Amino acid sequence: TSSPTIVTEDIADFKPNISCGASVAPEARVKLEMVDTLMARSRNYAALAQLQGDPQTSQEYWQRYGQLLVRTGDMERSEQLFTTLKDRCGAAEGWHGMGMVALKKGQLNTAIENFQMAVNGKPASSMIRNDYGYAQLLAGNYQEAALQLRTALELDNGKGRPRQNLAVTYLLSDDVKGLDVLKTDFHFTDDELVYAKALADQLRD
């Protein structure tokens, strides 16, 4: 069964109040960090509820809001929000979000194009690099995927989602040297390798 979609208002009434240059106040930053923690634990509905209970105008707030709309299956609002971020603010996060929406819709080529624009706008974002690399992985472009995911991994100090995605890329491209680097330089464990092999097998199917 599919996950329920949180609907708080009619789509015509969804008008994100985005202030492109707004800074994040310290108390608001604490709230966003709490939301990040919930997102990292896949508590997406709780994270979205926290955002809805404390509206802000910053791009960082709305970036998270859009990501959570994608994660909870609200494609229409997320696409509207990310289009606003992209067109009004020229934000890389807008392109990134549009890539996420396209990926969810199975529009792989469109996702790759949007992620490329996002990387151009914010090249040092590990999250954007990871998602771009993952899309390239799905497209079978293993050399480009490895480049983006290795960059994401280093930007993330060797942690996070790029670890598994990069390992899967190396497995699918039979890159033994790459796997050795993961083990020696990034302390990739045997348990992680077993999980990566299972993911790689799923993609082969």
pLDDT in tens, 18-68: 888 878 889 889 999 999 999 989 999 999 999 998 888 999 999 999 999
pLDDT in tens, 164-184: 999 999 999 999 999 999 999
Measure the CA–CA gap between 165 and 186, rounded to whole angstroms: 14
The model's pTM: 0.86
Sign of the torsion angle spanned by Cα atoms 19, 24, 30, 35: positive
Contacts of residue 93, Cβ cutoff 8 Å, sequence gap at least 6: 59, 63, 66, 82, 85, 118, 122
DSSP-assigned letter for residue 146:
H
